[in-house]
Chain A
Amino acid sequence: MTDCKSLIKELANKHGRERASLLPILQGVVERNNYLSDTCMTDIAKELDLSAAQVYGTATFYSFLDTQPRGEYVIRVCKTITCDMHGKKTIIQTLEDMLKIKVGETTPNKKFTLLETNCLGWCHEGPAMLINDTPYSGLTTEKVHDIISEYINKPSL
């Protein structure tokens, strides 16, 4: 995990210190650290000369800006209607069995977090999921096995 203060400086130099720079900075922190800690949010507030409440208010509005610790790989399974119709439940079950966690939880080694999310825009190829930024569609039990095994074997960053 990158040190918050230096990361925020780096992001603010890149995106600016305006109010309008807030979202790109929050996104940058989540990309690097997987979540926004309270300290990190107050540091951002100082750097941008905003109140901590303004930063917290914005951060907590967005479902992809996590304010609690997440794993290195966040898996978001689409639960909206067509993915649900085409077997989302089986996909969730497979993931829960493989990772030995429930939806909303993070593996003890902090590698994976399993979440459900609203429409990902892969309705024609459902069920679908995102692992960090990478979409996977047309999921079956076998396909999920292959994908997750590959991630399990990846060395941690």
Chain B
Amino acid sequence: MSEQTLKRVDLIFGEYSNEKYKILATTLARTNEDILKDLLESGLRGRGGAGFPTAMKWKFTAESPGEEKYVVCNADEGEPGTFKDREILLRVPRKVFSGMAICGKVIGAKKGYMYLRGEYKFMVPELMKELAIYHEHTKQLGLDFSIEIRMGSGAYICGEESALFESMEGGRGEPRNKPPYPTTSGFMKKPTVINNVETFVNVLMIMRLGPDQYKKLGTTDSRGSKVFSVSGDTPIPGIYELELGMPLDRFVDEFGDGDTKAVQVGGASGFCVPRKKFKDTVIGFEGVPTGGSMMIFNSSRSMYNVLHNYLEFFEEESCGQCTPCRVGCQQLLKGIVAVKKGEKKAVYLDQLMKLSESMKITAKCGLGQSVANSFSSIVNNFKEEMIY
């Protein structure tokens, strides 16, 4: 293993302030305009993967008409290769609840929900303990914003924001048409801010450091630090908080096992980057974005097996509501199996590529649209492995 070259950051997992909920208390004393100005200045973009500017999301929701508004923390972390939200919630839940409360104040919501994936149910007792402390403090601070935990039940698609609302409302987790966006019509069709776990922690850190200090981390397009979930063929798998905007070759130098063939950036719905492109790939919103998932494959791995595993995943997790995704995922999987077995000629892969491109433009939500990311990046870069 090469020596440590990438700068470690200790923002998200850094220690709590001495006094419980101190930053929340000082932030509550500020005006909403002031808080939003700092957020905008900081350049913070959502940490769930899509990267929407957080300040804008909050501003739109604050400006939406209506008395009843909600804050939702998306803790339905289901992307293969991602486990950072669990780690954040285990280690620094107070920061997450504080970030949600600040959001509640800014948009004028009285109620917040955390939608936690069913697979993480074991964490609920600990989270409830911290929530009791939270509610005690907000009572003292005179803040009318309570937080409730809701559980998922094993459905990847519920990480999609509108599917998550459907699920919270007691329905099947099927995504809605957009627009309207959650900022005007979210949970219970009311204006809602929905952010990833890590985003709320970043908000709190911006409140603590101020935007100028925060902006020193990362690059122009990708401000701040990011929690990465590193897995696969690496001697040091785990959770790492690094600066955004790092080149992939340096990441591989540090985390690879010396024989890295490819890195899947952003999970099964992300992109597969082959060795020859490590040098020119930047991890961040200006290059290849990621919600944190970094899966490393060495040369002993068959990329056909990797793609096969992803497609099985998508086929099972597709909600089945729209045809491009329901049928597309099945056909892509059947297609690569047929090519591998020699039942279809290699040129059939071009047909499949067209199918994945159609899914990108016609599927209703991010799931169906993003299957093409891993499909085309694996098939294009490892064509021989798909055929022979």
Are B310 and A64 within 8 A (Cβ)?
Answer: no
Are A81 and B295 within 8 A (Cβ)?
Answer: yes
B188 neighbours in A (Cβ, 8 Å)? 20
Interface presence of B238 (CB below 8 A)? yes
Least CB distance, B175 to chain A, in whole angstroms: 13
Q: How many residues of A contact B (CB 8 A)?
A: 36
Q: Which one of B81-89, B134-142, B210-218, B241-249 is at the interface?
A: B81-89
Least CB distance, B151 to chain A, in whole angstroms: 6
Interface presence of B173 (CB below 8 A)? yes
Query: If the complex has contacts A61-B172, A121-B77, are A84 and B153 also in contact, measured as CB distance less than 8 A?
Result: no
A57 vs B321: C-alpha distance when bound (angstroms):
13
Interface presence of A109 (CB below 8 A)? no
A121 vs B121: C-alpha distance when bound (angstroms):
12
A23 vs B100: C-alpha distance when bound (angstroms):
23
Interface presence of B119 (CB below 8 A)? yes
CB interface residues, B 74-97, toward A, < 8 Å: 77-83, 86
Least CB distance, B216 to chain A, in whole angstroms: 29
Are A58 and B170 within 8 A (Cβ)?
Answer: yes
A27 vs B268: C-alpha distance when bound (angstroms):
28
Find the A residue at minimum CB distance from B319.
A61
Interface presence of B231 (CB below 8 A)? yes
A21 vs B167: C-alpha distance when bound (angstroms):
10
Interface presence of A154 (CB below 8 A)? no
Are A123 and B237 within 8 A (Cβ)?
Answer: yes
> B83 touches which one: A23, A84, A85, A121 (CB < 8 A)?
A121
Interface presence of B232 (CB below 8 A)? yes
Interface presence of A39 (CB below 8 A)? no
CB interface residues, A 101-126, toward B, < 8 Å: 117-126
Find the A residue at minimum CB distance from B163.
A61
Are B119 and A130 within 8 A (Cβ)?
Answer: yes
A41 vs B155: C-alpha distance when bound (angstroms):
20
Q: Which 4 A-B pairs have the closest CB atoms?
A: A22-B170, A64-B154, A124-B237, A62-B153
